[in-house]
Amino acid sequence: MPVRGPVEALLDKTRPGWRERQARRKSLWHLPMIIVMVGLLAGLWFVLFEAMWQVHLIWHPEHIGRLEDFWPKGIGPKSFVASSLLVLPLFLPALGVSLILANLLFWCIRPARRSFEREASSDPEMTFRGANGKLLKITLCYLVPVGIGMSFIGAWVLTDLR
């Protein structure tokens, strides 16, 4: 019996057939899609941080013009936890949205779309509609509320940047 990590065990339980779907993904289009998705992820994460920093400034106007003091050398534990709570959870909504946007972008490229449709064959979860439907549901129901909610808490409790 192969050794399974916690992520694989979770996927086996919640997403039956994921291993078979993964094995069918052989198109070279997946590489540029991953590269685009990572770029979108980084950009969206940055934009979400900038937006949340503006929310933080509404609550703590004394920090206006002090973004360079965010995560300074020698930061205290309370400020580190609060600032981490402001930044890190934003990864979740950025991830969901970047996956959806990358799928949409590559769906617009006809050769990529044909390749992905061949891989999907008869599996509705691998089609553009099936994959993005699930991603949209997970993103809107879980990733956005959890990520933005936790970041709001971080923006609120970050009273001191040191």
Residue 124 has pLDDT above 80, yes or no: no
91-107 helix and 110-120 helix, angle to the nearest 10 degrees: 100
Q: Within 13 A of 148's CA, how many CA atoms are on the CB side?
A: 15
What is the pTM for the complete model shown? Answer: 0.84
The per-residue pLDDT for range 42-90, each reduced to its tens digit, is: 999 999 999 999 999 999 999 999 999 888 888 999 999 999 999 999 9
Greater confidence (63 vs 27) lies with 63
Rounded Cα distance between 54 and 2, Å, is 48
Q: What pLDDT is stored for residue 69 in this prediction? A: 87
The per-residue pLDDT for range 80-112, each reduced to its tens digit, is: 999 999 999 999 999 999 999 999 999 999 999
120-125: list long-range contacts, CB under 8 Å, 24+ apart.
120/24, 121/24, 123/17, 123/21, 123/24, 125/17, 125/21
What does the block give as tokens for 16? 């039956």
Give Cβ neighbours of residue 149 (< 8 Å, ≥ 6 apart): 89
